[in-house]
Amino acid sequence: MDKFLTKKNFSIIARARSFKHAFRGIGIMLRTQHNAWVHMVAAIVAIVLGFKFDISHAEWSVLVLAMGFVLASEAFNTAMEIDIDLTSPEYHPYAKATKDVAAGAVLISVVVASVIGLIIFLPKIILN
């Protein structure tokens, strides 16, 4: 615990390493979570539709936030699943509940992002 309480000097190399670890984490999520691929495909479809319908800067901003919200939720869910599998390898109702709540958080983010996508794209699809 002392290593977390000790002040360290700023290091560009250490910052670069932290990016390497972050990208490794994203890779773990994409390799182990099938739903992450579904979210990525949905994000790509939204990006293609955004270009097709020439959406406004404000719409792009909301769309990017929604996509980030879903992917970050999936990453947190993945991290929690990995940690729970490590700390509670045997079945425990609290471990199950924690995983279910984390999965529910992802579902909430997906529903919100879907509503945002419908608000942005449905009028454009109907009018074309």
Mean pLDDT value across the chain? 94
d(CA 76, CA 60): 24
Q: Residue 74 corresponds to which tokens in the numbers above?
A: 């999936």
74 pLDDT more than 60 = yes
Q: Quick check: 111 and 69 in contact, CB under 8 A? A: no
The confidence score (pLDDT) of residue 2 equals: 66
Q: Quick one: pLDDT at residue 17?
A: 86
Residue type present at position 85: D
Sort 49 into a burial class: Cβ within 10 Å, 0-12 / 13-18 / 19+.
middle
> Which pLDDT belongs to residue 1?
53
Distance from C-alpha of 98 to C-alpha of 32, rounded to nearest angstrom: 19
pLDDT band for position 8 (50/70/90)? Answer: confident
Secondary structure class of 65 (helix, strand, coil): helix
In the chain the domains, ranked by start, together with CATH numbers, are 9-127 (1.10.287.3610)
pLDDT one-digit tens code per residue, 76-126? 999 999 999 999 999 999 999 999 999 999 999 999 999 999 999 999 999
